Chain A
């Protein structure tokens, strides 16, 4: 059974970079043919797709966030990470990491989510 767990600071200052890590257990992120992604949900609002990274390292980002987002892999730790630069209050959200097999497939595993607040 695959499990995903987000970790990182719960408070980030405006204009700084938000950094989160997702630790995957129950399977190797480098040997599997899956995409590993990030989704966020502002308080009381809907879901927003951020982007994904393939187990071989190729990345695909939501065009609306592409200029500020980087997703990377750390295969030695079985983790993948998210960085969002130049954050504002609008980036305050619960951030989820997730797994998806490929385009046209659903998101089949989600982390529990972590709240990140952008505030001075």
Chain B
């Protein structure tokens, strides 16, 4: 089965740039999307189809996808961005999630 691999944790200082990676075989040939999940809440879509932001998502969130790696970048990270982030792609008509990355802003 298809697997997506994320680092368990990433730390960033407020105002700096955070990058969270998601790796999978030929992931660049698929669409990747990203969800943000805060404790006790449902996931929220922050990036879809590699690099598009849904309405209401701040411009500091951006995404890219090439080769075997998709990347979520948060520029000027704010304390409110501290959360778990999950990448997601489709394989064989099935949704596949990455294991999630805990972003700590300190």
Q: Which residues of A contact B (CB under 8 A)?
A: 37, 39, 46-49, 52, 60, 62-64, 96, 100, 103-108, 110-113
Contact = CB atoms under 8 A, between A and B. Distances in A.
Nearest to B89: A104
B43 A106 contact: no
Contacts of A63: 1, 94
A47 B86 contact: yes
Nearest to B46: A106
Given A49-B94, A64-B1, A112-B42, A107 B88 contact: yes
A111 B1 CA distance: 27
Interface residues of B, number: 23
Nearest to B100: A46
A45 to B, nearest CB: 8
B86 A110 contact: no
A106 B93 contact: no
A103 B90 contact: yes
Contacts of A64: 1
B88 A46 contact: no
B43 A47 contact: yes
Nearest to B43: A110
Nearest to A94: B42
B1 A105 contact: no
B78 to A, nearest CB: 23
